[in-house]
Structure 1
Amino acid sequence: MIVSNRAPTVDDPYVGYSYAYPHKSAYRQLAPTIPLETLWANEQLGSLFLYLHIPFCEYRCGFCNLFTLARPDEDLVAQYLRQLRIEAAQVRDAIPDATFARVALGGGTPTFLNDRELAELLDIVSAVAGSAPQMVPVSCEASPATLTAEKAGMLRAWGVDRISIGVQSFIDAELGALGRPQDRGDVRRAIEIVRLEGFPVLNVDLIFGVEGQTTNSWLTSVNETIEHRPEEIYLYPLYVREHTGLGSTAKEPNQERLDAYRSARARLLDAGYLQRSLRMFQLPEHVESSDPVYCCQSDGMVGLGCGARSYTKSVHYSTEFAVGRQGVRSILADYLARQPDAFRSASHGIVLDGEDQRRRFTIQSILQADGLSLHEYQARFASNLFDDLPELQCLIERELAVPAVDRIRLTDAGLELSDAIGPWLYSSRVRRLMESFQCH
């Protein structure tokens, strides 16, 4: 990892995934709780992200540390959807002027729901977002075994234009090593359904660093994915985390992850994909220029459901976080027992001080291939980036980043170290909170 703000050295490219800063392990109880009307009063509400979390799956993969419960009872799913509708109504009433530029259904696995339950979920979203699903990009996560033609047709007719399928590997032995029971026939059938229903965007997730994976077997999965020509491909390095199936077996990721990344990157670039970040590759013809603008660095997110995260510029909040089945069940039970008024305030989260707001903007920007706009940073914080974070100069000195006209962006060498650079930029306060968190 990068071990010093003043003189960084890199000995491990894979420290942590900085997809959201701060991580939920830095959240604590908010005392006093903050009413949503107060929390959102001074925020720009015209371009928000709406996220709904379905914390259920047909099984929990060995690598998964997401907030989800495998094989829930049907009664539990019904209770959850009833409570989700109550929460949605309370939040909509508390933030009546919210307008959404993006909508996402995630989890868990939204397509785990049966047809009737999925229709109910979409009705809940419509009650919150109004006509937004027909007007803005809408994404839904799916698993190969649970995506049927009926569900896909329902999602497409409602307004979903992006389906993300977690494939992870086309090699049976690697799926076994990941603790993921999956039939390759289901994968091909699901991809065919997505194409037949006319979804504009198909995303496929793959994982590298699996026990027993070789460069040849890894590229077999990459090549088969390319044959389907998905508009987006995400390459995830394997992390073995506490309280996961793999974590309980003490299995470590394959140590050849960096070589695997480099080989897949070269293959994807050769196939015509553009690299957007360490993980994301995209076909150049997939352009969202006509869509409403959403910027994760400056626009807020409203999360609904147990496990969903919401954030304003200075406050991030959610329900509590757990990975183990008992912890997830306990948090779900608390969510289901909430009275309607409880959804009108934030009780668990983190208040970002000025330093962490600046660090979040920097992390969210510099880890993208396009880099960070110095002008946007100056406009947002009325200060100079290099005065606020002088350690960034170290990246330039080590040729991990380059200054350009009004920008700083990572070089190829820097981009492949995103999972080390991101954690290196965490504040000491957030590090302390994360390190003292007791995961269940």
Structure 2
Amino acid sequence: MNPYQGYLYAYPHKTAYRRLDPRPLLSDVWAKERQDALFGYVHLPFCEMRCGFCNLFTRANPPDEQVSAYLSQLRRQARAVRESLDHDAVFARLAIGGGTPTYLTAPELEDLFGIVGETFGTGLPLSVETSPATATPDRLAVLAAHGTTRISMGVQSFLDSEAHAAGRPQRLPEVHAALRSIRDARIPVLNIDLIYGIDGQTEQTWQHSLDEALRWDPEELYLYPLYVRPLTGLGRRAHAREDWDRQRLGLYRQAVDVLTAAGYEQHSMRQFRRAGAPEPDGPDYCCQDDGMVGLGCGARSYTTELHYSFDYAVAVSEVRAVIDDYLSRDEDDFRYAEIGFHLDEIEQRRRWLLKSLLRADGVDPVAYRDRFGTSHVHDFAQLGELVERGWLNDDRTVLTADGLAHSDAVGPWLVSGPVREAMGTWVPR
């Protein structure tokens, strides 16, 4: 089985979403949901550049007036969405992503945090994404002043030649300056993203990036295998190397050994966390059971039975069209869910399984039975095939080391037929 079929970071993927007719009111969508431990997410679809590997919903270098208009519209959406929830709804975690939220200027970030505070509350664990070019002291000061507890920066490689090969025109002095500024801002958790499988990368150059990252003593590291996806910069340059899978798998295993020896604990195929790093101090949140409320035109939201968002696109012209559509809407329009996917009980069980199995600590069989009244082993007999491959332990709760390494095969393999069909009929745009 090909080890690199796709990153299943959410289930189902947005390419399985379809237009909802009729559009349900958000107040009805959330009426029967527990709202005592929600995740709040805000999406900023702007960056200073579009990396060659990126298929995220983002626009590079938008006009200043569009950024201002977006913040104004975000406030309108936030007001409509908050009024659709219970007045005593409680948020347990917050995140601001994109795009690159710190593309905003320091005054614009102040405006953004005003929206976040009014909608979700303050004093909660808060993660913000940044980039080497935008992690400037003035912006970081705003993040720190508003209680940011985690900042994540995509470095990808500590060699300019490799960063450029991945379609990321950054310079190493800029990376080091950004990391120094982040540490000076005293934000409790620093995460550094790295990519393996870049053209020209070797065990030696990968070791160099790992060593350079460890010099900053980050609380977290996320390691991503490079993917070449349609409509991205690298997607126009087909990857033809027959041994690419073998190379990526070797670099992954090298990193596991290096980070384990350095005192990091592996939480998933991608996430490594330093032993003793600060833990979020706030209400418990469980992504398998608790809902998420998203703001912004690229954000998804989910309840037990419905996942919803705005339209999804990758191509530059299509992304701009979706942003323009978002900016043209009346506030009342934000009281409805427009594009989404209804999860029946079978899909709810599958999502719960996937969100658990792809973590290093695996499935909690008691929690699964408490939630659904059945055994995950009974509901998903195909897990036996993973046991036979040596990828899953005998009681079918935890992936083996080899299974964790093949997470990007296991996840897509467990996608249901209906979701797979919906994703297959989505037209890239």
For normalisation by structure 1, the TM-score amounts to 0.95
Residues of 2 paired with 1:142 and 1:359: CA distance?
33
Inter-CA distance 414–164: structure 2 relative to 1 (3 Å threshold): same
Percent identity between the two aligned chains: 49
Residues of 2 paired with 1:357 and 1:174: CA distance?
40
Q: How does 1:7-406 map to 2 (within 5 A)?
A: 10=1, 12-95=2-85, 96-131=87-122, 134=123, 136-251=124-239, 254-255=244-245, 256-288=247-279, 290-403=281-394
Residue aligning to 2:398: 409
1:49, 1:301 within 8 Å by CA — same for their partners in 2?
Answer: yes
Q: Secondary structure at the match of 1:202?
A: strand
Residues of 1 paired with 2:128 and 2:281: CA distance?
20
4+ aligned runs moved over 6 Å, structure 1? none
Residues of 1 paired with 2:182 and 2:149: CA distance?
10
* CA displacement 1:291-334 (0-9 Å, x = unmatched): 32111000000000010000001100001100011100111111
Q: Secondary structure at the match of 1:31?
A: coil
1:321, 1:439 within 8 Å by CA — same for their partners in 2?
Answer: no
Q: Secondary structure at the match of 2:23?
A: strand
Aligned Cα root-mean-square deviation (Å) = 1.2
1:164, 1:205 within 8 Å by CA — same for their partners in 2?
Answer: yes
Residues of 1 paired with 2:273 and 2:354: CA distance?
21
- For 2:108, give the aligned amino acid: E
Residues of 2 paired with 1:163 and 1:287: CA distance?
13
- For 1:422, give the aligned amino acid: G
Residue aligning to 1:418: 407
1:318, 1:348 within 8 Å by CA — same for their partners in 2?
Answer: yes
- For 1:264, give the aligned amino acid: A
Across the two proteins, how many residue pairs are aligned to each other? Answer: 425
TM-superposed deviation, 1:249: 2.1
Moved more, 426-435 or 182-191: 182-191
Residues of 1 paired with 2:240 and 2:30: CA distance?
43
TM-superposed deviation, 1:403: 4.2
Residues of 2 paired with 1:291 and 1:432: CA distance?
39
2:189, 2:278 within 8 Å by CA — same for their partners in 1?
Answer: no
- For 2:25, give the aligned amino acid: P
Inter-CA distance 77–179: structure 2 relative to 1 (3 Å threshold): same
1:240, 1:252 within 8 Å by CA — same for their partners in 2?
Answer: no
Inter-CA distance 252–178: structure 2 relative to 1 (3 Å threshold): farther
2:188, 2:278 within 8 Å by CA — same for their partners in 1?
Answer: no
Q: Secondary structure at the match of 2:9?
A: coil
- For 1:261, give the aligned amino acid: Y
- For 1:208, give the aligned amino acid: Y
1:69, 1:108 within 8 Å by CA — same for their partners in 2?
Answer: yes
Inter-CA distance 306–414: structure 2 relative to 1 (3 Å threshold): same
- For 2:72, give the aligned amino acid: R
Residues of 2 paired with 1:35 and 1:149: CA distance?
42
Moved more, 44-53 or 381-390: 381-390
- For 2:258, give the aligned amino acid: R
* CA displacement 1:113-150 (0-9 Å, x = unmatched): 0111111111110110123xx1x210000001111111
2:38, 2:91 within 8 Å by CA — same for their partners in 1?
Answer: yes
Residues of 2 paired with 1:70 and 1:98: CA distance?
35
Q: Secondary structure at the match of 1:101?
A: strand
Residues of 2 paired with 1:289 and 1:431: CA distance?
35
For normalisation by structure 2, the TM-score amounts to 0.97
Residues of 2 paired with 1:249 and 1:423: CA distance?
24
Residues of 1 paired with 2:164 and 2:253: CA distance?
24
Moved more, 413-422 or 251-260: 251-260
2:58, 2:99 within 8 Å by CA — same for their partners in 1?
Answer: yes
Q: Secondary structure at the match of 1:250?
A: coil
Q: Secondary structure at the match of 2:341?
A: strand
Residue aligning to 1:4: none
Inter-CA distance 290–82: structure 2 relative to 1 (3 Å threshold): closer
Q: Secondary structure at the match of 2:393?
A: strand
1:164, 1:204 within 8 Å by CA — same for their partners in 2?
Answer: yes
Residues of 1 paired with 2:380 and 2:187: CA distance?
42
- For 1:301, give the aligned amino acid: M
TM-superposed deviation, 1:97: 2.9
Residues of 2 paired with 1:357 and 1:403: CA distance?
24
Q: Secondary structure at the match of 2:313?
A: coil
Moved more, 391-400 or 67-76: 391-400
Residues of 2 paired with 1:420 and 1:202: CA distance?
29
Residues of 2 paired with 1:197 and 1:71: CA distance?
26
Name structure 1 gaps, 5 residues minimum.
1-9
Moved more, 243-252 or 357-366: 243-252
- The answer on 1:428 being equivalent to 2:417 is yes
